[in-house]
Amino acid sequence: MGTSLEEIKALREKTGCGMMDCKAALIEAEGNEEKAVELLRKKGLAKAASKADRVASQGVVESYIHLGGKIGVLVEVNCETDFVAKNSDFQRFIKDVAMQIAAMNPLYVTKEEVPDELIKNETEIMRTQTLAEGKPEKAVDKIVEGRLQKYLSEICLLEQTFIRDAKLTIKDLLSELVAKIGENIVIRRFTRYQMGEKS
């Protein structure tokens, strides 16, 4: 039995598991999401999601300077223990995240941080553009939703495609690290500076 990409993505969001694991679980569960979650838990793959509620009060603030001093990034990534903050995988992850921010210029960490007003304005602009393109009225909502999700994947760090591996998003990278290390890890905040940019 086949499963849609939307169903696989929804299961991945819920469990923090990889796309292929989610697809296999959905096929085995015949499309039933609750059964698929249970299957992933039994296999020990849904570790990342179970760590998400634990307090992450340790961590590191990393700096990264790019293009001969033209772009600078400060990023705070939190974990549960000082021991993990010194872990080489954790350190590598922070460096990768800082480089991602320098290269891709996200505006927010998560989709939840995007102001409702911005989403509303962008949706209206996209709707106007889509109608002006002569798209059929009944297809407009679906087209606008697709364009909005693409826009959010560009401005939200966790939704961005990882610059070192186009098959992964930053969220995938984070989930893999959480599963490997066994602690809750949170990208808390970041600031990106670009030479000559107005604040």
Q: Reduce the DSSP state of residue 2 to 3 states and report it.
A: coil
With left for phi above 0 and alpha for psi between -120 and 50, is residue 182 left, alpha or beta? left
Token readout for 61 is 């603030």
As a whole number of Å, the CA-based R_g of the chain is: 19
Q: Which residue has the tokens 């909005």?
A: 148
Which listed CATH number (3.30.70, 2.60.40, 3.40.50, 1.10.286) goes with 115-154? 1.10.286
pLDDT of 163 reads 95
pLDDT of 153 reads 94
CATH superfamily of 58-110+156-194: Elongation factor Ts, dimerisation domain (3.30.479.20)
Domain ranges of the chain: 5-51, 58-110+156-194, 115-154
Tell me, which fold does domain 5-51 have in CATH?
Helicase, Ruva Protein; domain 3 (1.10.8)
| Positions of the chain with pLDDT under 50 | 1
pLDDT of 172 reads 94
pLDDT of 49 reads 56
DSSP code at position 56: -
What is the model's pTM?
0.70
Give CA–CA dist 195/78, Å, rounded.
28
pLDDT of 45 reads 57
